[in-house]
Chains A and B, each alone.
Chain A
Amino acid sequence: MSDPLSTSAMLELSSLSGIPVDDAAMAERIAAGAAAAVEAVRSIAANQGEVDLDQWLFEIEPAGYLALLEQLAEDGR
């Protein structure tokens, strides 16, 4: 488990982006929700074993998501 986003970091991001956050309590709750999502991405990467840079640089195309769904549907026929 990584450290959660700090309240002060959240308030700084709010100030930088111009999207207002009322107070430290609101910043803390936003940070908690965002941190869990960021942590999930970190952990999924950490659990995959050896680095496979080629899949990201050459093979996987996020825009091909619908095509992948269609291909997996055909594989099941």
Chain B
Amino acid sequence: MRDLVAAVEGLREGQLRSVELVREAIARARLVQLRHNCFVQIDAEGSMAAAEMADALLQGCAAEGVRPPGALLGVPLAHKDMFEREGRSTSCASKVRQSRAARRSATVVSRLDLAGAVDIGTLNMAEFALGATGHNATTGDCRNAWDPDFISGGSSSGSAVAVATGAVFASLGSDTGGSVRIPASANGVVGLKPTYGLIPRTGSMKLSPSIDVIGPMARSARDIALLLEVLAGADGIDAWSSSRPRPRYVHEVARGVEGLRIGVPRNHFAVGVAPVIRAAMEASLTALARAGALLVPLDVPEDVAVMAELSRAVVYAEATALHGEALRKLGARYTPQVRLRASTGLGIPAPVYLEALQWRLPLLRRFVMQVFSRCDVLHTPTIPIPVPRRDETDVGAGPGLWELLAQLVRCTAPFNFLGLPAISVPAGLDSRGLPIGAQYVARPFAEAVLLRVAAVQQQATPLASPLGYDASVENLPRK
């Protein structure tokens, strides 16, 4: 099955049955789990029951000649293990969390349920979403979908790998420094970090409330558009969610890029980029230009060079506040790197934290006015280096930790600080057969423009999965 949209259409037209899709998803999930460790838990019984109900509803609607309710009715999904579901415990991939059944479901989980999606399990992640590589000494490393010797990226590691291996059609992750886009890039799927405030976070694990966003990952741009229609919009609980009107993303995604201005940075994002990544970026720009986009070379504000660190001042101050009590009482249960990073706010004075939050407003205004007066979408690599090996990057709490992190989030974290929407789109494979991602950034709440660009780039870089999205699980390799 090509993608989520195709699956929804197949179910509605009676060509597919949810029980078949979910059975195949569970079989594939169990298989890829052996090699990639992308799941925390697989709920075969519950998801098959939900699939049977979806099929009954689909058949009932077909018999009555009415359109089935729910934009995602009957399709198997799974999400990062940080979104509460009523009656289920959320681990955040940590031994620190006590097993406790949630009293409510996260807003995003409720919205997907209401849309009819079938939740087949929970996905591996960096402990408490603090990790850009996919290493996790508690749950085990989540391994790259294309080659398990390489990192999956993080922190939404399992979310990307489960989509890339075809275990699910789409997933949710969270992004505080690049945690959706980095694994999306490393595993060859589409990952959206929406504008701060577009998707409400009620019932989702907090890392840094001033920066955190929830983002979808899927095989195609049109899948992301469909998911965004279900997920976006204020819920009346998250005070930092926006109620501004939204476009019909599913209509916008197919509009093409004729006349769109693509900003091509000459500074910061063009510096320190590995040759193989640069070549892929040039190819992606060529594809957009062929489709009618206008390429506009430009300089981004010099402030961008320190924005990843400004973001760190906010993230670590807030993370240490959230984890302070547990660090005092349960510190030994944290994995070493996460304990160190969760303690880093100790060294950030309160006035400096607040000053970073103050600076965000004038820096955001300046960035938007300087960059988006000249272009509609800014183009950068998602990760400026080829996907690293797992053994080379298993630094734990040792030397090299901060340098590794800085390298991985160099192109992503500035847009977390600014709150701007950004999407990572597959841009080909390197000579080792590992994915490369291009990142596109737009002005606030311009996700529709990002989806248009992503859809066009995907025409030039067709969908690809290391296991093949169309292969039956019975024909997949067992090792």
Check B444 for interface membership: any CB of A closer than 8 A. Answer: yes
B358 touches A38 (CB 8 A): no
**Given that A14-B346, A29-B401 are known contacts, is A72 also in contact with B352, CB under 8 Å in the complex?**
no
Choice from B196, B341, B360, B402 contacting A36 with Cβ under 8 Å = B402
B331 touches A20 (CB 8 A): yes
Q: Which residues of B contact A (CB under 8 A)?
A: 195-197, 210, 240, 242, 244, 302-303, 306-307, 309-310, 312-313, 316, 320, 324, 327-328, 331, 340-341, 343-349, 352, 354-365, 368, 372, 397-399, 401-402, 419, 443-446
B446 touches A33 (CB 8 A): no
Residue on A with the closest CB to B317? Answer: A37
**Given that A66-B240, A72-B444, A73-B446 are known contacts, is A40 also in contact with B347, CB under 8 Å in the complex?**
no
Q: Which secondary structure dominates chain B's binding surface?
A: helix
Contact partners of B352 in chain A: CB under 8 A: 37-38, 41
Contact partners of B446 in chain A: CB under 8 A: 73, 76
Smallest distance from the beta carbon of A54 to chain B beta carbons, Å? 12
Q: A33-B341, A37-B344 are in contact. List 6 more A-B contacts (CB 8 A).
A: A34-B346, A38-B347, A65-B196, A65-B360, A72-B444, A76-B446
B328 touches A34 (CB 8 A): no
Check A53 for interface membership: any CB of B closer than 8 A. Answer: no
Smallest distance from the beta carbon of A36 to chain B beta carbons, Å? 5
Residue picked from A18, A32, A35, A36, most chain B C-beta under 10 Å:
A36
Q: Which residues of A contact B (CB under 8 A)?
A: 5, 10, 13-14, 17-21, 26, 29-41, 43-45, 47, 55-56, 60-62, 64-66, 68-70, 72-73, 75-76
B347 touches A5 (CB 8 A): yes
B340 touches A26 (CB 8 A): yes
A35 touches B347 (CB 8 A): yes
17 A-B contacts (beta carbon < 8 Å): A19-B324, A31-B347, A33-B340, A33-B401, A37-B316, A38-B348, A39-B309, A43-B306, A44-B359, A56-B358, A62-B360, A65-B360, A68-B364, A69-B444, A70-B445, A73-B443, A76-B443
Residue on A with the closest CB to B244? Answer: A70
Q: Which secondary structure dominates chain A's binding surface?
A: helix
Contact partners of A66 in chain B: CB under 8 A: 196-197, 240, 242
Cα distance A60–B345 in the bound complex, in angstroms: 24
Contact partners of B244 in chain A: CB under 8 A: 70, 73
Contact partners of A73 in chain B: CB under 8 A: 195, 244, 443-446
Contact partners of B365 in chain A: CB under 8 A: 68, 72
Smallest distance from the beta carbon of B118 to chain A beta carbons, Å? 33
Smallest distance from the beta carbon of A52 to chain B beta carbons, Å? 9
Cα distance A5–B346 in the bound complex, in angstroms: 11
Contact partners of B324 in chain A: CB under 8 A: 17, 19
A40 touches B313 (CB 8 A): yes
Contact partners of B310 in chain A: CB under 8 A: 37, 40-41, 44
Contact partners of A45 in chain B: CB under 8 A: 355, 359
Contact partners of B196 in chain A: CB under 8 A: 65-66, 69
B195 touches A69 (CB 8 A): yes
A10 touches B346 (CB 8 A): yes
A69 touches B312 (CB 8 A): no
A62 touches B357 (CB 8 A): yes
B364 touches A13 (CB 8 A): no
Choice from A17, A47, A61, A64 contacting B346 with Cβ under 8 Å = A17
B344 touches A30 (CB 8 A): yes
A69 touches B445 (CB 8 A): yes
Choice from A41, A75, A76 contacting B313 with Cβ under 8 Å = A41
Contact partners of A33 in chain B: CB under 8 A: 312, 316, 340-341, 344, 347, 401-402
A69 touches B242 (CB 8 A): yes
Contact partners of A30 in chain B: CB under 8 A: 340, 343-344, 346-347
Cα distance A46–B365 in the bound complex, in angstroms: 19
Cα distance A70–B419 in the bound complex, in angstroms: 11
Residue on A with the closest CB to B314? Answer: A37
Choice from B197, B210, B328 contacting A20 with Cβ under 8 Å = B328
Contact partners of A60 in chain B: CB under 8 A: 358, 361-362
Smallest distance from the beta carbon of A3 to chain B beta carbons, Å? 13
Cα distance A31–B341 in the bound complex, in angstroms: 11
Cα distance A18–B325 in the bound complex, in angstroms: 9
B355 touches A41 (CB 8 A): yes
Contact partners of A68 in chain B: CB under 8 A: 361, 364-365
Cα distance A19–B88 in the bound complex, in angstroms: 30
Smallest distance from the beta carbon of B303 to chain A beta carbons, Å? 6
B358 touches A62 (CB 8 A): yes
**Given that A34-B316, A38-B348, A76-B443 are known contacts, is A62 also in contact with B361, CB under 8 Å in the complex?**
yes
Cα distance A43–B307 in the bound complex, in angstroms: 11
**Given that A26-B397, A33-B402, A70-B242 are known contacts, is A40 also in contact with B306, CB under 8 Å in the complex?**
yes
Smallest distance from the beta carbon of B374 to chain A beta carbons, Å? 12
Cα distance A60–B356 in the bound complex, in angstroms: 13
Smallest distance from the beta carbon of A33 to chain B beta carbons, Å? 5
Residue on A with the closest CB to B320? Answer: A19
Contact partners of B372 in chain A: CB under 8 A: 76
Residue picked from A56, A69, A72, most chain B C-beta under 10 Å:
A69
**Given that A19-B327, A64-B361 are known contacts, is A69 also in contact with B419, CB under 8 Å in the complex?**
yes
